[in-house]
Structure 1
Amino acid sequence: AVGALVGAGLLFLVWRRRGPWWLRFVLGFLAAGLLGGAYLGWVRRQAGLPSDAITSPKALIEDAQRAVERANERQRANEQGLFELEQQ
């Protein structure tokens, strides 16, 4: 929540168009990064995963890879169980 508020404040400063163009560019870029990280943190919390207020895309990719590994393990266990039933 704090990251989102800081990002919104930075976007407000950029929107007011005060200061040199390069400062507005840097503040806009920083605000976009903070708001994006806050959004990714919110997505992880909604998925029931432990999360900080601001999360990187790398954390989401790693979560997805772990989920695929768990699904593959369950699939292998199911196939092994079916194979054993067919052998009886």
Structure 2
Amino acid sequence: MLIFKLMSCQQVAKVASDYLDNQTDGKLNLKIRLHLMMCANCRRFVKHLGLTKTLAPQVVRTHHAPVDAEAVLKRIKERPQ
């Protein structure tokens, strides 16, 4: 008979990123899945974390480098009027 203590929401949140990256072992996966079956809030959290991990690299690739405000201001001031 397999008996173990159920994970808390805080414990699931701490390992959620590793879980999504398949960096957790079988026993921990089972504990996480069992908790997720019973906890809608953690299911939502893990789902949103997964979406963030998927979309964040795309946003970083499409985000332009920050504008050098000082250089822009200097060019404006040097421009003939």
Please say whether Structure 1 and Structure 2 have the same fold, judged by a TM-score greater than 0.5: no
Greater fraction helix:
1
TM-score, normalised to structure 2, is 0.34
TM-score, normalised to structure 1, is 0.32
Identify the structure with bigger relative contact order (alpha carbons < 8 Å, sequence gap 6+).
Answer: 2
